[in-house]
């Protein structure tokens, strides 16, 4: 996401106009102007809720504004896994041949990985922020009921609520594919090698 933001800023710097339809807070925060559609998604939305700067939307009282203004909170107590599945010599696509354990009966977030294998791949893509909260609640209910859930994605709201993170990077495509970090959300905040950890720390108000 940082790479996308840098590319967008380069476009603006040379005089281009960019219109980006996106719910990711990292993109919203670098915008000059924000148009918030809602209040919900689908049939519950479609009406303009706010127009102005990223700072002003935080004070607007809209659903998106309240979510942007609220620092992310990491899961206070991670669930204890019941066994694990070991992935060995992962080499598909751009992966570099690492081993990783995927714990069972917990929510595992896998970052910076595309087109793999996996129970849910980017399930929050295109969702309204309010719906991301709902899907996090659904994930928690599934895991508490005994489901083994692996979510591939970059949404910080989801990553913050995970029990276990497998961070793959450090970049995307040919710049990634390596195992950067495995562990809990609270530990990734202090990982100097993890771009995801730095972004999560900022979103949580830790930096």
pLDDT on residue 61: 92
- Which CATH architecture best describes the domain 84-203? 3-Layer(aba) Sandwich (3.40)
Instruction: Provide the mean pLDDT of the chain.
Output: 86
CA 112/CA 124 separation, integer angstroms: 14
38, two tokens: 């809602």
Across 142-163, average pLDDT? 88
Tens of pLDDT, residue by residue over 82-139, are: 999 898 988 876 788 889 898 988 889 888 655 457 368 888 887 888 888 888 988 8
Tens of pLDDT, residue by residue over 52-71, are: 999 999 999 998 899 889 88
What are the residue boundaries of the structural domains of the chain, listed by start? 2-69, 84-203
Contacts 24+ apart (CB under 8 A), 129-137: 129/23, 129/25, 129/63, 129/64, 129/67, 129/68, 129/157, 130/38, 130/39, 130/40, 130/41, 130/63, 130/64, 130/67, 131/40, 131/41, 132/23, 132/157, 132/158, 133/67, 133/157, 136/161
Q: What is the pTM of this model?
A: 0.59
Tens of pLDDT, residue by residue over 176-205, are: 788 999 999 999 999 989 999 999 999 998
């Amino acid at each position: 996401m940082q790479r996308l933001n840098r590319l967008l800023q380069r476009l603006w710097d040379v005089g281009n106009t960019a219109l980006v339809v996106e719910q990711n807070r990292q993109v919203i925060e670098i915008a000059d102007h924000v148009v918030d559609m809602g209040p919900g998604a689908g049939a519950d939305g479609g009406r303009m809720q706010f127009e102005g700067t990223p700072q002003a939307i935080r004070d607007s009282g809209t659903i998106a504004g309240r979510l942007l203004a609220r620092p992310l909170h990491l899961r206070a107590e991670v669930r204890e896994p019941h066994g694990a599945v070991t992935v060995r010599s992962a080499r598909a696509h751009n992966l570099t041949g690492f081993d990783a354990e995927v714990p069972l009966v917990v929510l595992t977030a896998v970052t910076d990985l595309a087109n793999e294998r996996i129970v849910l791949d980017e399930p929050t893509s295109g969702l309204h922020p309010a719906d991301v909260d709902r899907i996090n609640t659904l994930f928690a209910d599934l895991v508490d009921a005994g489901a083994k859930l692996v979510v591939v994605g970059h949404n910080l709201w989801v990553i913050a609520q995970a029990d276990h993170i497998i961070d793959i990077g450090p970049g995307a495509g040919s710049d990634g594919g390596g195992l950067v970090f495995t562990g809990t959300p609270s530990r990734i905040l202090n990982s100097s090698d993890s771009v995801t950890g730095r972004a999560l720390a900022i979103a949580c108000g830790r930096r």
